[in-house]
Amino acid sequence: MSEKRDNEPAFVLHTYPWRETSLIVETFSRRHGRLALVARGARRPLSSLKSRLLAFQPLELSWFGKGGLRTLHAAEWQGGDLRLSGRALMCGFYLNELLLKLLPPDDPHEALYDRYAETLAELSGQADPEPILRRFELDLLSALGYAQTLTELAEGGAVEPGRRYGYSLDQGVVAAGAGPSYAGKTLLDMAAGDYADPRTLAESKALMRTLINHYLADKPLLTRQLLVELQAL
């Protein structure tokens, strides 16, 4: 049965050409999750749709259809001034790529949608993007059910800030072994969203990269590589 949705809050994650004059629009909708929509005729010179289908802008989208590819019939900008530039812009594209590759389609995540909007606002404020990215990465994995608790050991007992621990993908925090280890303070800071300590920032980046690579099944993140290259310039 065909469905019709009107004025749904959403962000555009990515667009690419489809047939001669249309676009496929990958979106993140607050109430319907990740959706692929066809914007028919959006590449025509006089189309008003294309100018509205911009990443990082809060939109209300309307669509109809069924299955994996619905048809977009309206897009309205909802105000706000999320201006991302330079490194912050690349970080925004990195978030979008994470959502495209990790979120299953048609799986609503309203709290994650709200965190995404908050994260874009933080990036637009020109703050240091590293803590902002680490918080969102952990929130994303938590929303998908992938992240284990960071404040308690898998076998029981509280994480102590002065000790070092390992991390098992299946179990969570474990006693330190032969693999990479992380300060207890790092794990507790991550759980609290506190990245003021440079060691926390460095160790959390290493841990989150390991986790994300695992759940991506080692599919490369193009935006991550671009960020690395920008830092090397």
- Give the tens place of pLDDT for each residue, 165-190: 999 998 999 999 888 999 999 999 99
Lowest mean pLDDT among 30-34, 46-50, 179-183: 46-50
pLDDT surpassing 60 at residue 231? no
pLDDT digits 0-9 by tens, 131-171: 999 999 999 999 999 988 999 999 999 999 999 999 999 89
Share of the chain above pLDDT 70, in %: 95
Full set of structural domains in the chain with CATH: 3-77 (2.40.50.140), 86-232 (1.20.1440.120)
Average pLDDT over residues 212-216: 91
pLDDT of residue 46: 83
pLDDT of residue 233: 33
pLDDT of residue 68: 75
pLDDT surpassing 50 at residue 14? yes
Provide the pairing of β-strand 69-77 with 33-39.
Answer: parallel
pLDDT of residue 147: 85
Helix (H, G, I), strand (E, B) or coil at 153: strand
**How far from 26 is each of 17, 61, 206, CA to CA, in Å?**
12, 12, 29
pLDDT surpassing 90 at residue 47? no
pLDDT of residue 48: 83
Average pLDDT over residues 37-49: 89
pLDDT of residue 45: 86
Measured over the CA atoms of residue 103, residue 138, residue 205 and residue 157, the dihedral's sign is: negative
CA–CA distance, 145 with 125 (Å, rounded to integer): 30
CA–CA distance, 206 with 189 (Å, rounded to integer): 14
Average pLDDT over residues 208-224: 86
Q: In what order do the strands lie in the sheet with 182-183?
A: 172-175, 164-168, 182-183
pLDDT digits 0-9 by tens, 187-200: 999 999 999 999 99
pLDDT of residue 87: 86
